[in-house]
A and B are shown apart, each in its own frame.
Chain A
């Protein structure tokens, strides 16, 4: 039969245009992205109509999980004199000094330990475990901060309703150490209320938050912000 024999040829699709598009998208994402910081617990913040954005610099985030475990994270200044790493290192030295002054069990940290702390975004363990924790490899350190893992049972910075600043609790030691770095921009942010943010899960009982708020009040950090998600007035 007179069947038309089609010439079999390997189809060649020109991918150049496609490649152009993907490179463009890739560039966009690379430039606009700010990486998610690793947090030991996931919290879903409640919603509010407040439109003010969370600052990226000079921010002390206090993360509270529903069980009342407290963690904190430091974001330093844009200026490299007080970059996040340097801020954290200064805070660690400051805090350990206060701890050693008020407790009989002293902590001695090596330069290596301080560097490790500087590279960690979020911290939340009692001082007693600090040294041991800093010597661990990275994956182990993550596990010890995560309360859902068996290793993370002791996670969280010890906090209570202490009002006596001569005998500060561990949370107060850390907060004061953060405030007492020489970073004036951070100090200013704390004074205006933009420097300290509480990030807590919507289902957290108020008693847990109240302890944190009370501690901040005792430390005279009366102005602070609460991290929320956006909603409209109609909701």
Chain B
């Protein structure tokens, strides 16, 4: 027993130098930090009509007062990459003077909000979709105050269901937005236009191909921009 006690007293405080260990860990952390993706991409859902030939009479024509057509175009640099984006729009049917110099086409811009107020094309779309938009704003206020349920998830799901109901309510005047992009228009502008539909709660919109009328209407604007 006495021998054992002696051995204990001989033991010294063991100090392990952790510096190399820390060095190695830091290296590994750096590696993992650089190789990971923290931010995941989001997705924007779209549904296109089938390519099959549809009988013209079966196509439901949009009411003139409700229709708004957005034309997208971009300037391109020598590599074919889009540089500056342009947004044009007209309400109802295209109206062009016989010589093609004037039409009901107007120029606008993707501007976003300023101090909570919509600007550019968003203001125009919001105004068109006033009925729905006002109701959604009301609903949003209730959702923020958690009036539907104290539980976040339930609150969210009730809000989403109600918002969908309002968006698809056929008793309200809802616009039909037709988005058309020229071959040169950037992908970004198409996504931004589709995004405006989400922001303004527009449920009826479609992507369409550019027609001859559309190009004729854009011609004066192209001339102004110096596009060939």
Q: Known contacts A163-B51, A204-B186; is A29 also within 8 Å of B25 by CB? A: no
Distance in angstroms between the alpha carbons of A227 and B39 in the assembled complex: 13
B145 contacts A by Cβ under 8 Å: no
A196 → B minimal CB distance (Å): 10
* Among candidates A23, A34, A206, A225, residue contacting B25 with C-beta atoms closer than 8 Å: A23
Distance in angstroms between the alpha carbons of A15 and B24 in the assembled complex: 13
B45/A193 in contact, CB under 8 A: yes
A218 contacts B by Cβ under 8 Å: yes
* Among candidates A30, A52, A67, residue contacting B43 with C-beta atoms closer than 8 Å: A52
Instruction: Specify the chain B residue showing the minimal Cβ separation from A208.
Output: B187
> What residues of chain A lie closer than 8 Å to B113, measured between beta carbons?
233-234
A54/B41 in contact, CB under 8 A: yes
Instruction: Specify the chain B residue showing the minimal Cβ separation from A220.
Output: B50
A19 contacts B by Cβ under 8 Å: yes
What's the dominant secondary structure at chain B's contact region?
A: mixed
B54 contacts A by Cβ under 8 Å: no
A225/B51 in contact, CB under 8 A: no
- Chain B interfacial residues counted at CB < 8 A: 57
B190 contacts A by Cβ under 8 Å: yes
B82 contacts A by Cβ under 8 Å: yes
> What residues of chain B lie closer than 8 Å to A53, measured between beta carbons?
40-43
Instruction: Specify the chain A residue showing the minimal Cβ separation from B38.
Output: A32
A130 contacts B by Cβ under 8 Å: no
Interface residues of A in 21-77 (CB under 8 A from B): 22-23, 25-26, 29-30, 32-36, 45-54, 66-67
Q: Mark A178-216, 1 if CB is under 8 A from B, else 0.
A: 000000000000000110010111111111111001101
Closest 6 pairs between A and B when the two form their complex, measured CB to CB: A15-B18, A22-B25, A207-B183, A33-B36, A202-B188, A29-B32
